Amino acid sequence: MSQKTQEPVVNKLTELATQDAKWITLKRIDYTDQTGKDRTWEVATRKTRGKAGVDAPPSTLVVIQYRPPLDAYTVEWPAGLIDADETAEEAAVREFKEETGYDCKLVSMSPVQAADPGMSDANMKMAMVEVQLGESDELPEQRLDDGEHIQRVVIPLAEFYDRLVEYSKKDRFIVAAKLFHFAHGMRFAQTQKYM
Amino acid sequence: MSQKTQEPVVNKLTELATQDAKWITLKRIDYTDQTGKDRTWEVATRKTRGKAGVDAPPSTLVVIQYRPPLDAYTVEWPAGLIDADETAEEAAVREFKEETGYDCKLVSMSPVQAADPGMSDANMKMAMVEVQLGESDELPEQRLDDGEHIQRVVIPLAEFYDRLVEYSKKDRFIVAAKLFHFAHGMRFAQTQKYM
């Protein structure tokens, strides 16, 4: 496609009616996406914040996308909301296909976890999946919603932690905490002397 | 102290004024804490959700507390907001002392991570700290805010993942995603055949 693209720009932060909230508030972000289309996003934010291929090595697949709440590109594993008529397992396989284009095989599903317990009641499960990358350099077609622009990056597991630290140093890039904690746990188990 | 204690109970979920939000909303939770005192908590929530000692082995220290947004006891690492006049490093040591009673030594600090990128703009850093547990069974005094009731649990690293899975099976218990992902990363590095 020959769509015109540009860097996403946050144009305005608008306060929603939240007169009763003391610590957190809702904001609507009006932004222009990579194709020049004006869009909106709703975000919950705290009111208080201080300064402050074959033969390829075993790898993981991360997705990078512009996230309006952060005005930054996030490095994450594929994720999404569970539809009303599907199980967590079905949602994991569906979202992986939509965001990466690949069919995957479910290996395991975690218990329910609290996404960010001090601030929200959001919860999630983590699915471990296996995927066989194709032999060609051509990537399978994604099934993205209108407005989604998702880049796929294959990272060898041996470089996982270091690559996430590198991404964190890039301007306008931020790594999702769950992804970072998993990679950090791997590194910790491999390097610390006690175990 | 001979304070009367009881199981926390959620009494009411009250909708805040959020007429402009389509996907997320704010709610205030009125609840009664372990001492019988009525309290409130603000939470951002999605509108859409489907069905769906010495000689001790090397260990980690987790905190368990009632979290009104989830109406559950969460298993987490100590955490807190960074005050306006302190660094992330100072906040990590201060919060650890307040919630556990122990002095700790900062080992490393992670880059900034996105707490829950699809829903909020909250971000965080993870501090690795070392702490020497005392020889006696008596735990040091915590410096808790009014209304905080935090239980400390020492978990040997070799049992970390399995213990979190056990907590997840308990009624009204949920493990924080960041903690679970770290433990899962450790387990993955130790058990998978590729590395």
- Give the span between the Cα atoms of B140 and B132, in whole angstroms: 12
Q: Which of B46, B84, B110 minimises the CB distance to A180?
A: B110
Assess B1–A contact: CB distance below 8 Å, yes or no. no
Phi–psi pair at A194, nearest 5 degrees: -80, -25
Three-class DSSP category at B135: coil
Give the number of other CB atoms < 10 A from CB of residue A33: 18
- Give the span between the Cα atoms of A165 and B93, in whole angstroms: 23
Angle (CA) B80-B61-B168 rounded to 5° is: 90
- How far are the Cα atoms of A35, A179, B17, B71 from residue A160, in angstroms, in the given order? 31, 10, 43, 35
Q: Which of A67, A178, A187 minimises the CB distance to B178?
A: A178
- Give the span between the Cα atoms of A65 and A78, in whole angstroms: 10
Higher pLDDT, A68 or A98: A98
Fold observed for domain B59-191: Nucleoside Triphosphate Pyrophosphohydrolase (3.90.79)
Q: Which of B25, B51, B182 minimises the CB distance to A181?
A: B182
Assess B24–A contact: CB distance below 8 Å, yes or no. yes
* Least confident piece of the model among A47-51, A104-108, A122-126, B7-11: A47-51
Put simply, the answer to whether B121 touches A69 (Cβ < 8 Å) is yes
* H-type alpha helices, A9-130: 88-100
- Give the span between the Cα atoms of B125 and B108, in whole angstroms: 10
- Choose among A148, A5, A176, A172: nearest CA to A73: A172
Put simply, the answer to whether B70 touches A114 (Cβ < 8 Å) is yes
Assembly ipTM: 0.81
pLDDT tens-digit series, residues B35-89: 788 888 877 777 765 444 445 689 999 999 998 888 899 999 999 999 999 999 9
Asked if A178 and B177 count as a contact pair (C-beta separation under 8 A), the reply is yes
Average pLDDT across chain A, whole number:
85
Both tokens assigned to A81: 């909301």
- Give the span between the Cα atoms of B57 and B156, in whole angstroms: 6
* Least confident piece of the model among A24-33, A125-134, B39-48, B141-150: B39-48
- Give the span between the Cα atoms of A46 and B85, in whole angstroms: 17
pLDDT tens-digit series, residues A18-30: 777 777 777 788 8
Cβ-based contacts of B184 with chain A (< 8 Å): 110, 126, 182, 185
In the prediction, which pLDDT does A45 show?
75
In the prediction, which pLDDT does A148 show?
78
- Give the span between the Cα atoms of B15 and B29, in whole angstroms: 9
Asked if B170 and B163 count as a contact pair (C-beta separation under 8 A), the reply is no
Q: Which of B74, B182, B192 minimises the CB distance to A117?
A: B74
In the prediction, which pLDDT does A73 show?
95
- Give the span between the Cα atoms of B60 and B104, in whole angstroms: 12
- Choose among B149, B111, B177, B127: nearest CA to B8: B149
Put simply, the answer to whether B21 touches A43 (Cβ < 8 Å) is no
A-B CB pairs within 8 A amount to 270
Place of tokens 């569906």: A94
- Give the span between the Cα atoms of A180 and B182, in whole angstroms: 8
Among A113, A165, A174, A195, most B C-beta atoms within 10 A, so best to mutate, is A113
Put simply, the answer to whether B117 touches A174 (Cβ < 8 Å) is yes
Assess A85–B contact: CB distance below 8 Å, yes or no. yes
- Give the span between the Cα atoms of B168 and B127, in whole angstroms: 24
Question: For residue A41, what are the β-bridge partners?
Answer: A29
Assess A157–B contact: CB distance below 8 Å, yes or no. yes
Kindly state the percentage of chain B with pLDDT values over 70: 86
Three-class DSSP category at A89: helix
Average pLDDT over residues A40-60: 68
**Domain map (residue ranges) of chain A:** 9-46, 59-191
Assess B185–A contact: CB distance below 8 Å, yes or no. yes
pLDDT tens-digit series, residues A64-96: 999 888 889 999 999 999 999 999 999 999 999
- Give the span between the Cα atoms of B65 and A192, in whole angstroms: 29
Q: Which of B21, B72, B194 minimises the CB distance to A58?
A: B194
With a cut of 60, say whether residue A184 has pLDDT above it: yes
Put simply, the answer to whether B120 touches A44 (Cβ < 8 Å) is yes
- Give the span between the Cα atoms of B183 and B180, in whole angstroms: 5
With a cut of 70, say whether residue B142 has pLDDT above it: yes
Going by the DSSP 8-state scheme, the letter that residue B110 receives in this structure is P
Average pLDDT over residues A6-15: 70
Assess A108–B contact: CB distance below 8 Å, yes or no. no
